[in-house]
Structure 1
Amino acid sequence: MKRNRMQQKLFLITIALISISACTNQISEGTKNNTKLTSFVDPFIGTGGHGHTYPGATIPFGMLQVSPINGVNGWDWCSGYNYSDNIAVGFSHLALSGTGIGDLLDISFMPINKKVDLSKYFESRDSIPYKSTYSHNNEKASPGYYQVFLEDPKINVQLTTSQRTAYHKYTFTKEDQQSIIIDLGYGTNWDSATKTHITLEDVQTISGYRFSTGWAKNQKVFFVAKFSKPIKNHKIYSDGNLINAVSTTGVKTASQLFFNNSNTALQVKVALSSVSISNAKENLDTGDFDFDKIQVAADTNWDGALAKIQVESPTDSLKTIFYTAMYHAQLAPVTFSDKNGEYRKENDTIATASDYTAYSTLSLWDTFRAEHPLLTLIAPDKVSDIIRTMMSYYKTKKILPVWTLYGNETNTMTGYHSIPVIAEAYVKGIRGFDAETAYQAMKTTMMQDDRGLKEYKKYGYIPYTLIDESVTITLEYAYDDWCVAQMAKALGKEADYLFFSKRAQAYRNLFDKNTGFMRAKSVDGKSWSLPFDPKYAVHRNGANYTEGNAWQHSWFVPHDVENLIAMHGGTETFTARLEQLFTESSEINGDNTSPDISGLIGQYAHGNEPSHHIAYLFNHANKPWRTQYWVREILKTQYSTLSTGLSGNEDCGQMSAWYILSAIGFYSVNPASGNYEIGSPIFEKTTITLSEDKSFIIEAANVSDKNKYIQSAMLNGAVFNKTTISHQQIIAGGTLHFVMGSLPNKKWGVHNTKINE
Structure 2
Amino acid sequence: MFNKIRGLLKFSTVAAVVMLVSTVKAQSPASYINPFIGASSSASAAGIYHGLGKTFPGAATPYGMVQVSPNTITGGDNGSGYSYEHKSIKGFAFTQMSGIGWFGDMGNFLVMPTAGTLRTSAGTLVNPEGGYRSAYLKSSEKASAGYYSVLLTDHYIKAEMTAAPHSGMLRFTFPQNKQSRIQVDLARRVGGTSTLQYVKVVNANTIEGWMKCTPDGGGWGNGDGHADYTVYFYAQFSKPLKNFGIWSADIPDGQSRKREDVESAKYQDMVAHSSILKGVKEKQGKHLGFFTDFETKDNEQVILKSGISYVSIAGAKNNLLTELKDWNFEAAHQRAVNLWNQALTKVSIEGGTPEEKTVFYTAMYHTMIDPRIINDVDGKYWGGDGKTHQNANFKKRTIFSGWDVFRSQMPLQTIINPSLVNDMINSLVTLADEKNKNYLERWELLNAYSGCMFGNPAVSVITDAYAKGIRNFNVPEAYALSVGSVEKFGNGDVGYTPGSNSIALTLEYAYTEWCVSQMAKWLNHPADVTKYAARSQDYHNIFDKEKGWFRPKDKDRNWVVWPDSGRLTQWYGTFETNPYQQGWFVPHDVDGMVKLMGGKEKVIADLNNLFAKTPENMMWNDYYNQANEPVHHVPFLYNRLGMPWLTQKWTREICRRAYKNGVEGLVGNEDVGQMSAWYVLAAAGLHPVCPGDTRQEITSPVFNKITFKLDGKYAVGKSFTIVAKNNSAKNVYIQSAKLNGKPYNKCHIDFKDVTAGGVLELTMAPEPNKDWGIN
TM-score between the two structures when normalised by the length of structure 1: 0.89
Bigger shift: residues 276-285 or 627-636 = 276-285
Q: In the alignment, residue 534 of structure 2 is paired with which amino acid?
A: K
Contact 1:232–1:260 (CA under 8 A) maintained in structure 2:
no
Aligned-partner residue type, residue 759 of structure 2: T
* Residue type at the aligned position of 1:509: N
Quick check: 1:165–1:285 contact (8 Å CA) kept in 2? no
| Distance (Å, rounded) in 2 between the aligned partners of 1:35 and 1:83 | 28
Q: Which residue of 2 aligns with 1:353?
A: 391
Q: Alpha carbons of 1:502 and 1:66: their partners in 2 closer, same or farther (altered >3 Å)? A: same
Aligned to 2:449: 409
Question: Once the two structures are superposed, what CA deviation does each residue of 1:233-271 show, in whole Å capped at 9, x if it has no partner?
Answer: 112122222335211111111122123536811111111
Report percent identity of matched pairs: 37
- Deviation readout 1:556-594 (Å, 9 max, x if unpaired): 00000011111112110111111111224779xxxxxxx
Matched, 1:392 2:393: no
5+ residue gaps in structure 1? 1-30, 588-596, 752-757
Normalising by the residue count of structure 2, what TM-score does the alignment of the two structures yield? 0.87
Aligned with 2:458 (options 394, 418, 422): 418
- Aligned residue for 1:231, secondary structure, equals coil
- The residue aligned with 2:709 is 689
Partners in 2 of 1:738 and 1:259 — Cα distance?
A: 64
* Structure 1 residue 445, shift from structure 2 partner: 1.9
Alignment CA distance shift 1:463-1:685 (3 Å): same
Q: Distance in 2 between matches of 1:457 and 1:691?
A: 39
**In 2, are the aligned partners of 1:598 and 1:608 still within 8 Å (CA)?**
no
CA distance, structure 2, for counterparts of residue 121 and residue 714 of structure 1:
62
Q: Identify which of 433, 442, 447 aligns with 2:473.
A: 433
How far off is 1:376 after superposition?
0.8
SS at match of 2:113: strand
| Residue 619 of structure 1, aligned match among 639, 649, 652 | 639
> Residue 222 of structure 1: CA displacement?
1.5
Alignment match, 1:282: 318
Cα pair 1:58 1:144 within 8 Å, conserved: yes
Post-superposition Cα deviations, 1:437-486, rounded to whole Å, max 9, x if no partner, equal 211111122223xxx54xx213110112xxx3121111111111111111
Matched, 1:311 2:349: yes
**Structure 2 CA distance, aligned partners of 1:570 and 1:39?**
49
Equivalent residue for 1:580, pick from 603, 609, 628: 609
Distance in 1 between the 2:450 and 2:527 partners?
Answer: 33
2:90 equivalent in structure 1: 89
Cα pair distance change 1:117/1:708, threshold 3 Å? closer
Among 485, 489, 496, the residue aligned to 1:461? 496
Q: Work out the CA distance in 1 between the residues paired with 2:184 and 2:621.
A: 46
Alignment equivalent of 2:625, drawn from 573, 597, 605: 605
Cα deviation, residue 720, structure 1: 1.0
2:26/2:32 contact within 8 Å kept: no
Deviates more, 1:529-538 or 1:717-726: 529-538
User: In structure 1, what is the equivalent of residue 381 of structure 2?
Assistant: 343
Equivalent runs, 1:207-246 vs 2, <5 Å:
207-212=208-213, 213=215, 214-215=219-220, 216-239=226-249, 240-243=274-277, 245-246=280-281
Partner secondary structure for residue 152 of structure 1: coil
Q: Deviations over 1:47-71 (max 9, x none)?
A: 1341100000110000011100012
**Is 1:196 equivalent to 2:232 in the alignment?**
no
C-alpha distance in structure 1 between counterparts of 2:123 and 2:619, whole Å: 39
Matched, 1:46 2:86: no
- 1:709-730 per-position Cα deviation (integer Å, ceiling 9, x unaligned): 1111111111111121111101
Q: 2:503 aligns with which of 471, 476, 501?
A: 471
Find the aligned partners of 2:621 and 2:749 in 1 and give their Cα distance. Answer: 27
- Structure 2, unaligned stretches of length 5 or more? 1-22, 43-51, 221-225, 250-273
**1:3 matched to which residue of 2?**
none
Mapped pair 1:564 → 2:564: no
* Alignment partners' CA distance in 2, 1:537 and 1:34: 46
Q: Aligned-pair distance for 1:407?
A: 2.5
CA contact (8 A) 2:350 2:703 kept: yes
Deviates more, 1:655-664 or 1:480-489: 480-489
Instruction: Find the aligned partners of 1:632 and 1:123 in 2 and give their Cα distance.
Output: 40
- Alpha-carbon RMSD across the aligned residues, in angstroms, is 2.2
Radius of gyration: which is bigger? 1
What CA distance in whole angstroms lies between the structure 1 residues aligned with 2:504 and 2:380?
37
Cross-structure match for 2:28: 36
- In 2, Cα distance between the equivalents of 1:495 and 1:599? 46
CA shift in 2, pair 1:122/1:525, >3 Å: closer
Counterpart residue type for residue 230 of structure 1: P
Cα deviations across residues 306-341 of structure 1 (Å, max 9, x unaligned)?
A: 111111115111111111101111111111112233
- Identify which range, 603-612 or 340-349, moves more after superposition: 340-349
- Alpha-carbon distance in 2 for matches of 1:621, 1:514: 24
- Does the C-alpha gap of structure 1 residues 430 and 125 become closer, same or farther in structure 2, counting only changes over 3 Å? farther
Cα distance in structure 1, aligned partners of 2:453 and 2:663? 27
Distance 1:649 1:413 in 2: 15
Q: CA deviation at 1:526?
A: 4.7
Tell me the SS of whatever aligns to 2:194: strand
* Structure 2 counterpart of 1:222, one-letter code: Y
CA distance in 1, matches of 2:411, 2:76: 32
Q: Is the 8 A contact 1:380 1:430 kept in 2?
A: yes
The secondary structure found in structure 2 opposite 1:157 is strand
Aligned partner (choices 472, 479, 485) of residue 445 of structure 1? 485
Partner of 1:393: helix, strand, or coil? helix
